[in-house]
Amino acid sequence: MALTALICDDSLLARNQLKKSLPSAFDADIITASNGAEALTILRTREVGLVFLDLTMPELDGVGVLEAIKADAMDCLVIVVSADIQPEMQKRVMELGALAFVQKPATADKLADVMHKYGLI
């Protein structure tokens, strides 16, 4: 059975950009959410193996999502894809259990590198 991957970003462009840039070797069902609250609802109702998570979002931001995943001990991997690339922020999300940090815009090369590194492709 294919893995389900969730792309969570408030921007349609960013979601499309990411979807298009995913390595072709990555075999997964892709679903999307346009803010943190929506993402949590999905994560609590169905099994998601991997989340591509934006940080700066309305409703509930990426940090809030990471905190909830940690608090509920959900079994999913998170790759943060964000424009907010300050060292302090990178440190913070890694401490909250993110697997990796990808700087926006998420290009195919960057995604392939990270996913290869963690054995996702």
Partner 1 sequence: MTELHFTDVQRDCLQELVNVAMGQASDKLARYLGTFVHLQVPAIALVEAALLSQHFASRYQQQSATLVSLGFFGDQGLRGETIMLYQLTNVGVIAQLLGYSDDAVSEAEMLTDISSVLTTTFLSGLAEQLENSFSYAAPRILSSRDRDFADKLAYTAEQWQLALQVDIRYQLTDYSFNCDMILLIPGEAVLRLRQTLDNILADF
Residues that bind partner 1 (CB under 8 A): 10-14, 16-17, 19-20, 56-58, 82-89, 103-105
Do 34 and 54 form a contact (C-beta atoms < 8 A)? no
> Residue 34 Cβ, how far from partner 1 at the closest point, in Å?
10
CA-to-CA distance for 97 and 86, rounded, in angstroms? 17
Torsion of CA 66, 27, 104, 114, to 10 degrees: 80
Output the smallest distance, CB 101 to partner 1, in A: 12
Q: How far is the CB of 95 from partner 1 (least distance, A)?
A: 14
Q: Give the Cα separation of 121 and 22 in Å (integer).
A: 10
Q: How far is the CB of 51 from partner 1 (least distance, A)?
A: 19
Query: What is the C-alpha to C-alpha distance for residues 12 and 111, in angstroms, rounded to an integer?
Result: 18
